[in-house]
């Protein structure tokens, strides 16, 4: 037991969790905490908006596999974190959100919570639906145990955000602190080990399958199961499709890779998934954008679903063999049983079918087309960037073009907002990813509408010396909404024109970053190479047509077998 203030105990507790960086913005309700940062080796990165801090924490978490931490003051500071917390919740990212709060009862302070005090907000109530768990501290002595439990909850089972709300008076209160490493949370016992009987059933079904397909989701990346997935696919000679969140879980230059599924999925993935007789789904929640209409999704296939979260089993799609367990442990058990049986599946008609379908439907860019179109740009970008480059995206057309045309080769190298679809996510997430992996290039593929929502974080990247690259596919409209109005509202455009302001080159330079503009594929290539050598953040502005659509596409209300348009 050690006597100290709550703020000091918080910093020490974070240090015990091996936290090396926090993204945040200070305010009156967290001043005691910030005072103790001066005596800590934890790096604090001053963001320019709390939403940026939350997204940066998620980018850090998803690039590193470690929990990201963000910090904000009470009231508006806390509520500005909400979008980032919700994003992390939807995409199962482990972040710890720390918020200041007006004082609670103590010997020296009038009770203020619940009196509509200055900058008071019920952040616990607000975030209850979008956190895995949240805490509001009642005494300073609770701080070490609460922090320890918060990190454990955020990182075990299905990861997710955890919020700790810290009244200001507890930050200065002196108390006896117990920094024990023992963890005991009643009622919280996440399951990770697969049931042997379910493994046996799954392997039996897979070995009998003539047209197996593996659907890999974000859970494969979270559980670090990419190697096990690769072994399973090669042992079964099964093509691997990914959900959008699973992009990067399987190398997309591998002969068995068939790309992302869904509304804007790779036509090969959508087609072959519908032909499968057995689908092995790993760490995916079968979201509506992935499946299209539920009654047509793999309707003739037997389905095996592996997920750490029992609530996902049968939620959207009925499955034949459910396995509630960690993806890595489960795939390892499946691989062991497959290897013992030793069946040779090298030359199967299915393997030939997969190869032929990829040759028919996946066409490279037309070399004779000199226009600056997204497909050519992203193919060129893949040629230039090192294999371990981390790519984040904004949300909209830029995001779907990236999913279609930019091959992710390694886990944790493609980071985007999946479930919530948060515009403004990509740039601060890129900053967080760069902090987590300072020796890797980090590139944000952006649209002009999405980038404008968090462009103020240019100040963060420059001031804190966090050089990333932002590629702005600039069509001067809210592109995805414009596409829907074009296709489904008879070109009745409403509230989608952004105009040509700002000049992104001048905007970057105003913040002290490097601004470049590319108006040809050659200029784009030169700009990216120049940006890779830069020691400051670079924004590359690329004017593209406002009439450019993301195709192919599954029309609303249809199944993925009804995809239209060319790849």
Which tokens is 84 given? 């980032």
Q: How far apart are CA 435 and CA 430, in angstroms?
A: 9
Which tokens is 528 given? 């990216």
Q: Is the pLDDT of residue 450 over 80?
A: yes
Q: What is the mean pLDDT of residues 207-234?
A: 97
Question: What's the CA angle centered on 21, arms 139 and 124, to 5 degrees?
Answer: 40
Q: What is the mean pLDDT of residues 178-203?
A: 92
**One domain for residues 15 and 64:** yes
**Domain assignment of residue 352, given as a range:** 196-361
Q: What integer best gives the mean pLDDT of the chain?
A: 95
pLDDT of residue 111: 65
Domain end among 336, 361, 386:
361
**One domain for residues 8 and 154:** yes
Asked if residue 78 belongs to a domain, the reply is yes
pLDDT of residue 348: 87
Domains held by the chain: number: 3
| Residue of higher predicted confidence among 363 and 146 | 146
Q: How confident is the model at residue 500 (pLDDT cuts 50, 70, 90)?
A: confident
**What tens digit of pLDDT does each residue of 361-375 get?**
998 888 877 778 999
pLDDT of residue 110: 60
**One domain for residues 339 and 381:** no
Cβ neighbours of residue 142 under 8 Å, at least 6 residues apart?
Answer: none
C-beta of residue 298 within 8 angstroms of C-beta of residue 273: yes
**One domain for residues 93 and 213:** no
C-beta of residue 529 within 8 angstroms of C-beta of residue 443: no
Hey, how many other C-beta atoms are within 10 angstroms of the C-beta on 208? Answer: 11
Domain end among 320, 336, 361:
361
Cβ neighbours of residue 317 under 8 Å, at least 6 residues apart?
Answer: 286, 291, 294, 297, 298, 303, 305
**One domain for residues 120 and 220:** no
**What tens digit of pLDDT does each residue of 376-420 get?**
999 999 999 999 999 999 999 999 999 999 999 999 999 999 999
Q: Is 168 a catalytic residue?
A: yes
Q: Is 118 a catalytic residue?
A: yes
> Considering 3, 15, 118, 519, which one is annotated as catalytic?
118
- Reference 549, options 532, 529, 565; nearest CA is 565
pLDDT of residue 1: 81
Percent of the chain surpassing pLDDT 90: 89
**One domain for residues 20 and 155:** yes
**What tens digit of pLDDT does each residue of 14-42 get?**
999 999 999 999 999 999 999 999 999 99
Which tokens is 316 given? 């959207």
Which tokens is 55 given? 């997204």
**One domain for residues 434 and 521:** yes
Q: What is the mean pLDDT of residues 461-483?
A: 97
**One domain for residues 327 and 423:** no
pLDDT of residue 108: 56
Q: How confident is the model at residue 105 (pLDDT cuts 50, 70, 90)?
A: low
pLDDT of residue 102: 93
> Considering 177, 400, 480, 553, which one is annotated as catalytic?
480
Cross-strand pairs, 532: none
Distance of CA 47 to the CA centre of its chain: 19
Q: How far apart are CA 79 and CA 97, in angstroms?
A: 11
**One domain for residues 286 and 421:** no
C-beta of residue 44 within 8 angstroms of C-beta of residue 20: no
| Residue of higher predicted confidence among 556 and 99 | 99
pLDDT of residue 76: 97
* β-sheet with 21-24: strand ranges across: 43-46, 21-24, 68-72, 95-101, 162-167, 133-136
**One domain for residues 384 and 488:** yes
Q: Is the pLDDT of residue 93 over 90?
A: yes
Q: What is the mean pLDDT of residues 107-131?
A: 83
Q: Is 480 a catalytic residue?
A: yes
Angle, helix 479-488 to helix 397-405, in steps of 10 degrees: 90
> Considering 8, 148, 168, 302, which one is annotated as catalytic?
168
Angle, helix 374-384 to helix 521-533, in steps of 10 degrees: 40
Hey, how many other C-beta atoms are within 10 angstroms of the C-beta on 16? Answer: 14
Which tokens is 297 given? 């999704």
**What tens digit of pLDDT does each residue of 153-189 get?**
999 999 999 999 999 999 999 999 999 999 889 889 8
Beta strand pairing call for 21-24 and 68-72: parallel
Question: Which CATH number do you get for residue 16?
Answer: 3.40.50.970
pLDDT of residue 366: 84
Asked if residue 158 belongs to a domain, the reply is yes
**One domain for residues 225 and 165:** no
Beta strand pairing call for 469-474 and 212-216: unpaired
> Considering 16, 37, 119, 351, which one is annotated as catalytic?
119
Helix/strand/coil for 282:
strand
**One domain for residues 28 and 159:** yes
- Reference 188, options 235, 133, 258; nearest CA is 133
Asked if residue 556 belongs to a domain, the reply is no
Q: What is the mean pLDDT of residues 307-334?
A: 96
> Considering 4, 8, 23, 50, which one is annotated as catalytic?
50
Q: Is the pLDDT of residue 516 over 60?
A: yes
**What tens digit of pLDDT does each residue of 236-279 get?**
999 999 999 999 999 999 999 999 999 999 999 999 999 999 99
Q: How far apart are CA 482 and CA 548, in angstroms?
A: 10
Is the pTM of the predicted complex or chain greater than 0.85? Answer: yes
Q: How far apart are CA 32 and CA 141, in angstroms?
A: 16
- Determine phi and psi for 308, rounding to 5 degrees: -70, -20
In the block, tokens 């050519």 appear at 376
pLDDT of residue 537: 98
Q: Which of 101-105, 108-112, 379-383 has the lowest mean pLDDT?
A: 108-112
Asked if residue 182 belongs to a domain, the reply is no
Q: Is the pLDDT of residue 70 over 70?
A: yes
Angle, helix 426-436 to helix 50-64, in steps of 10 degrees: 50
């Amino acid at each position: 037991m050690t006597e100290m203030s709550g703020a000091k105990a918080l910093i020490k507790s974070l240090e015990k969790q091996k936290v090396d960086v926090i993204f945040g913005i200070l305010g009156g309700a967290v001043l005691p905490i910030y005072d103790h940062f001066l005596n800590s080796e934890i790096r604090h990165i001053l963001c320019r908006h709390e939403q940026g801090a939350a997204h940066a924490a998620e980018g850090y978490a998803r690039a590193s596999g470690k929990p990201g931490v963000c910090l904000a003051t009470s009231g508006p500071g806390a509520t500005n974190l909400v979008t980032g917390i919700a994003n992390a919740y939807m995409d199962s990212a482990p972040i710890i959100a720390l918020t200041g709060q007006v004082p609670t009862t103590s010997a020296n302070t009038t009770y203020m919570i619940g009196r509509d005090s200055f900058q008071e907000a019920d952040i616990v109530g607000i975030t209850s639906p979008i956190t895995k768990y949240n805490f509001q501290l009642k005494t300073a002595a609770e701080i070490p145990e609460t922090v320890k439990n918060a990190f454990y909850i955020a990182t075990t089972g299905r990861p997710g955000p955890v919020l700790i709300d810290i009244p200001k008076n507890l930050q200065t209160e002196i108390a006896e602190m117990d920094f024990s490493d023992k963890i005991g949370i009643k009622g919280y016992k996440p399951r990770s080990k697969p049931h042997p009987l379910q493994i046996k059933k799954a392997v039996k079904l897979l070995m009998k399958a003539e047209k197996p397909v593996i659907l890999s989701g974000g859970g494969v990346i979270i559980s670090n199961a990419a190697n096990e997935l690769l072994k399973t696919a090669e042992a079964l000679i099964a093509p691997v499709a990914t959900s959008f969140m699973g992009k990067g879980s399987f190398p997309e230059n591998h002969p068995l890779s068939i790309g992302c599924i869904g509304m804007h999925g790779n036509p090969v993935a959508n087609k072959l998934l519908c032909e499968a007789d057995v689908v092995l789904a790993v760490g995916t929640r079968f979201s509506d954008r992935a499946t299209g209409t539920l009654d047509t999704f793999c309707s003739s296939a037997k389905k095996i679903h592996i997920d750490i979260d029992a609530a996902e089993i049968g939620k959207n799609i009925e499955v034949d063999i459910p396995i509630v367990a960690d993806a890595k442990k489960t795939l390892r058990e499946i691989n062991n049983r497959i290897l013992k049986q030793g069946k040779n599946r090298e030359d199967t008609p299915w393997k030939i079918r997969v190869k032929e379908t990829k040759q028919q439907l996946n066409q490279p860019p037309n070399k004779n087309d000199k226009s600056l179109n997204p497909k050519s740009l992203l193919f060129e970008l893949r040629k230039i960037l090192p294999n371990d480059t981390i790519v984040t995206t904004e949300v909209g057309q830029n995001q779907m073009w990236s999913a279609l045309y930019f091959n992710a080769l390694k886990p944790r190298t493609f980071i985007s907002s999946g479930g919530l679809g948060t515009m403004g996510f990509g740039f601060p997430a890129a900053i967080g990813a760069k902090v987590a992996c300072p020796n890797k290039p980090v590139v944000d593929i952006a649209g002009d509408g999405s980038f404008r929502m968090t462009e103020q974080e240019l100040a963060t990247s420059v001031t804190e010396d966090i050089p990333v690259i932002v590629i702005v596919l600039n069509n001067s409209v809210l592109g995805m909404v414009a596409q829907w109005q074009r296709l489904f509202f008879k070109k009745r455009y409403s509230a989608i024109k952004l105009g040509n302001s700002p000049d992104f080159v001048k905007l970057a330079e105003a913040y002290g970053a490097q601004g470049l503009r590319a108006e040809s594929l050659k200029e784009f290539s030169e700009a990216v190479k120049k940006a890779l050598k830069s020691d400051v953040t670079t924004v590359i502005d690329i004017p593209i047509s406002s009439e450019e659509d993301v195709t192919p596409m599954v029309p609303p209300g249809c199944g993925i077998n009804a995809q239209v348009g060319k790849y």
